[in-house]
């Protein structure tokens, strides 16, 4: 029984607001109160400001009274991964370097949300500069998984995953460079969409690896995911890599049932020895789609085995370049020394955490003379092969079904000392970023320990509507997304 406003989906809340059965202020208070009740155990948020948020809610209520509602998002709280700029609000990127920084401007996605009347609610925890798969690399706190407080929520958008699963917020914007939306969605039993590269503006997203980064929605259910995605998708002249493809009506698309599809099952994503609970859950999802009249076809993506290596060359190379601007002069943390070299050197040593330093070193190494051709250029060539694998598969199938992550949420501390084990966790997610294609993760089962299992649907460029439709069909005939986490 849902008796509290915070238990409702954004879509349900939007309907209640429209029929004037509640106010944005009441809705927002409900999330604030639930957050405060749980935050001591979860640590999903890096910062929040109830007064700032409530003043937006009251402004929304005022608009509604005056008949000036700006659309379905008006009055609904949305939380933001703390790596997306929101004017005058803290922007830490999970880093000591940025501890006291405030954004001087709005990211394009934030501008869009404000223009549609959304109520910005809190800044969510992440691995430092989005580098990680567990949120343990945040400089400030470890976020706990509401399904099991001893486990990680995934990463790097782990604060988003935990906050949504625990009903501290109805939905959130995350970012995905190699799986950071989809993997925490899988670990927390929620829905997360990584859009096609170029679909959503990256203006105002602190760059980690610019050729891979995308902002995307994370939510309790597919409908809310579509609603939030609709609000942020589209061309932006401030991001030269954003594309001006037509934007379909995503929420409406859900009402139509998907035409019969050819669904590819890439055999490399189901290796021998894979986690049996993950395999069983994903296989029963495949059986479901087959029963619905879709055709299931085995396909091959032969360069999958190189994906992790390629990703960790390309991503670290771009990160080392993007993070070069953190010099202790222009941005926040500055180590007080009298000569410039010491300021640079000490500021970076003190400002960055261990994982970020590791990536900067790896990236600098693969870009250095003598290694550049052997490592970086070669990785770019293999990246092209990985992309061609997908293009070839999409000649015969419409979408691909895979697990989102090889395992369910792992214990806090289990992989933190072993970077390679942590990186291998991204095996099913990084290829979509390398190729630029969209991917969605939805819950498709639970392990015996009651931890969520994620199903990933990958599609062709700009086919997010198709992914949302297929995800919605599955969600509508299962109850995985409505089960609530023990701590919620
Ligand atoms: N886990 C991957 C990494 O650490 C992906 C991170 C992300 O998508 N931001 O690089």
Q: Where are the domains of the chain?
A: 2-261+397-482, 305-382
Res. 395 pLDDT band, cuts 50 70 90: very high
178 ligand 1 Cβ < 6 A: yes
Of 403, 400, 476, the C-alpha closest to 435 is 400
351 ligand 1 Cβ < 6 A: no
User: 275 alpha carbon to ligand 1 midpoint, in Å?
Assistant: 21
User: 179 alpha carbon to ligand 1 midpoint, in Å?
Assistant: 6
**Quick check: 78 and 219 in contact, CB under 8 A?**
no
**Burial of 194: CB neighbours in 10 Å, binned 0-12, 13-18, 19+:** buried
Whole-angstrom distance, CA of residue 100 vs CA of residue 111: 22
Atom of ligand 1 nearest to the CA of 130: 9
pLDDT digits (tens, 9 = 90+) for 44-93: 999 999 999 999 999 999 999 999 999 999 999 999 999 999 999 999 99
Residue range 2-261+397-482 forms a domain whose CATH class is alpha beta
Is 156 annotated in the active site?
A: yes
User: 137 alpha carbon to ligand 1 midpoint, in Å?
Assistant: 11
Give the three-state DSSP class for 384: helix
User: 183 alpha carbon to ligand 1 midpoint, in Å?
Assistant: 9
Pocket test for ligand 1, best of 82, 128, 130, 430 (most atoms within 8 A of CB): 130
Q: Which of 149-163, 337-351, 388-402 has the lowest mean pLDDT?
A: 337-351
Is 368 annotated in the active site?
A: no
**Active-site hit among 81, 112, 194, 261:** 81
132 ligand 1 Cβ < 6 A: yes
Question: Residue 485's pLDDT is what?
Answer: 94
**Quick check: 168 and 143 in contact, CB under 8 A?**
no
Beta bridge partners of 124: 45, 81
Pairing of the two strands 119-124 and 77-81: parallel
pLDDT of residue 231 exceeding 70: yes
Question: Residue 10's pLDDT is what?
Answer: 98
**Quick check: 332 and 97 in contact, CB under 8 A?**
yes
Question: Residue 456's pLDDT is what?
Answer: 98
425 ligand 1 Cβ < 6 A: no
Q: Give the percent of the chain with pLDDT over 70.
A: 100
Is 447 annotated in the active site?
A: no
And the tokens for 428? Answer: 């099913």
**Burial of 136: CB neighbours in 10 Å, binned 0-12, 13-18, 19+:** buried
User: 88 alpha carbon to ligand 1 midpoint, in Å?
Assistant: 27
**Active-site hit among 14, 24, 134, 156:** 156
Asked if the peptide bond before residue 156 counts as cis, ω within 30 degrees of 0, the response is yes
Name which residue sits closest to atom 4 of ligand 1, judged by CA.
132
85 ligand 1 Cβ < 6 A: no
176 ligand 1 Cβ < 6 A: yes
Residues in the chain: 488
Which helix (H) or strand (E) segment is 392 a member of? helix 378-396
Whole-angstrom distance, CA of residue 240 vs CA of residue 248: 21
Q: Count the Cβ atoms, other than its own, within 10 Å of residue 357.
A: 15
Atom of ligand 1 nearest to the CA of 155: 1
Residue in the structure block whose two tokens are 């599809």 = 261
Q: Where are the alpha helices (DSSP H) in 23-171?
A: 24-42, 50-65, 108-115, 158-165
145 ligand 1 Cβ < 6 A: no
Residue in the structure block whose two tokens are 């929304």 = 60
User: 236 alpha carbon to ligand 1 midpoint, in Å?
Assistant: 24
DSSP 474-488: HHHT--GGGS--S--
User: 119 alpha carbon to ligand 1 midpoint, in Å?
Assistant: 28
Of 257, 249, 221, 219, the C-alpha closest to 233 is 249
**Burial of 321: CB neighbours in 10 Å, binned 0-12, 13-18, 19+:** middle
Whole-angstrom distance, CA of residue 16 vs CA of residue 268: 46
pLDDT of residue 338 exceeding 80: no
Pocket test for ligand 1, best of 125, 153, 180, 187 (most atoms within 8 A of CB): 180
User: 429 alpha carbon to ligand 1 midpoint, in Å?
Assistant: 9
Res. 1 pLDDT band, cuts 50 70 90: low
And the tokens for 84? Answer: 């997306």
**Quick check: 85 and 103 in contact, CB under 8 A?**
yes
177 ligand 1 Cβ < 6 A: yes
Q: Give the percent of the chain with pLDDT over 90.
A: 94
Q: Which of 46-60, 239-253, 340-354, 377-391 has the lowest mean pLDDT?
A: 340-354
Whole-angstrom distance, CA of residue 168 vs CA of residue 116: 21
pLDDT digits (tens, 9 = 90+) for 105-146: 999 999 999 999 999 999 999 999 999 999 999 999 999 999
Which helix (H) or strand (E) segment is 452 a member of? strand 452-459
Res. 391 pLDDT band, cuts 50 70 90: very high
179 ligand 1 Cβ < 6 A: yes
**Quick check: 488 and 37 in contact, CB under 8 A?**
no
Q: Write down the pTM of the prediction.
A: 0.97
């Amino acid at each position: 029984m849902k008796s509290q406003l915070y238990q409702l989906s954004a879509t349900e809340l939007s309907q209640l607001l429209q029929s004037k059965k509640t106010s944005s202020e009441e809705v927002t208070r409900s999330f604030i109160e639930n957050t405060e009740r749980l935050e001591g155990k979860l640590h999903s948020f890096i910062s929040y400001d109830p007064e700032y948020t409530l003043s937006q809610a009251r402004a929304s209520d005022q608009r509604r009274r005056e008949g000036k509602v700006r659309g379905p998002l008006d009055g609904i709280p949305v939380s933001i991964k703390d790596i997306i700029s929101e004017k005058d609000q803290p922007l830490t990127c999970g880093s000591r370097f940025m501890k006291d920084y405030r954004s001087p401007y709005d990211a394009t996605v934030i501008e869009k949300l404000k223009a549609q009347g959304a109520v910005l609610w809190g800044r969510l925890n992440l691995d430092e500069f989005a580098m990680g798969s567990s949120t343990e690399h945040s400089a400030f706190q470890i976020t706990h998984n509401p399904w099991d407080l001893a486990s990680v929520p995934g990463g790097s958008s782990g604060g988003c995953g935990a906050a949504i699963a625990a009903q501290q917020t109805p939905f959130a914007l995350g970012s995905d460079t190699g799986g950071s939306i989809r993997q925490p969605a899988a670990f927390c039993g929620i829905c997360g969409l990584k859009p096609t590269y170029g679909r959503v503006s990256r203006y105002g997203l602190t760059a980690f690896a610019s050729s891979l980064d995308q902002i995307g929605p994370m939510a309790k259910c597919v409908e809310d995911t579509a609603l939030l995605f609709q609000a942020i998708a589209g061309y932006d002249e401030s991001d030269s890599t954003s594309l001006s493809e037509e934007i379909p009506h995503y929420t409406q698309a859900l009402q139509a049932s998907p035409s019969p599809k050819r669904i590819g099952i890439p055999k490399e994503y189901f290796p021998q020895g894979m986690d049996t609970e993950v395999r069983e859950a994903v296989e029963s999802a495949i059986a479901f789609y087959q029963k619905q009249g879709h055709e299931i076809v085995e396909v091959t993506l032969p360069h999958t085995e190189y994906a992790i290596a390629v990703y960790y060359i390309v991503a670290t190379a771009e990160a080392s370049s993007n993070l070069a601007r953190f010099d202790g002069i222009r941005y926040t943390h500055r180590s007080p020394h009298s000569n410039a070299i010491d300021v640079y050197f000490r500021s970076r040593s003190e400002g960055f955490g261990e994982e970020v330093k590791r990536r900067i070193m790896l990236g600098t190494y693969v870009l250095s003379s003598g290694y550049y051709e052997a490592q970086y250029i070669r990785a770019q060539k293999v990246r092209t092969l990985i992309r061609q694998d997908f293009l070839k598969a999409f000649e015969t199938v419409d979408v691909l079904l895979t697990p989102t992550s090889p395992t369910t949420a792992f214990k806090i501390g289990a992989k933190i000392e072993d970077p390679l084990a942590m990186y291998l966790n991204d095996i099913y997610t990084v290829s979509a970023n390398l190729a630029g294609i969209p991917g969605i993760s939805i819950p498709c089962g639970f392990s015996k320990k009651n931890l969520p299992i994620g199903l990933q649907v990958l599609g062709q460029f700009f086919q997010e509507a198709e992914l949302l439709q297929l995800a919605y069909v599955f969600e509508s005939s299962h109850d995985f997304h409505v089960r609530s986490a023990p701590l919620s």
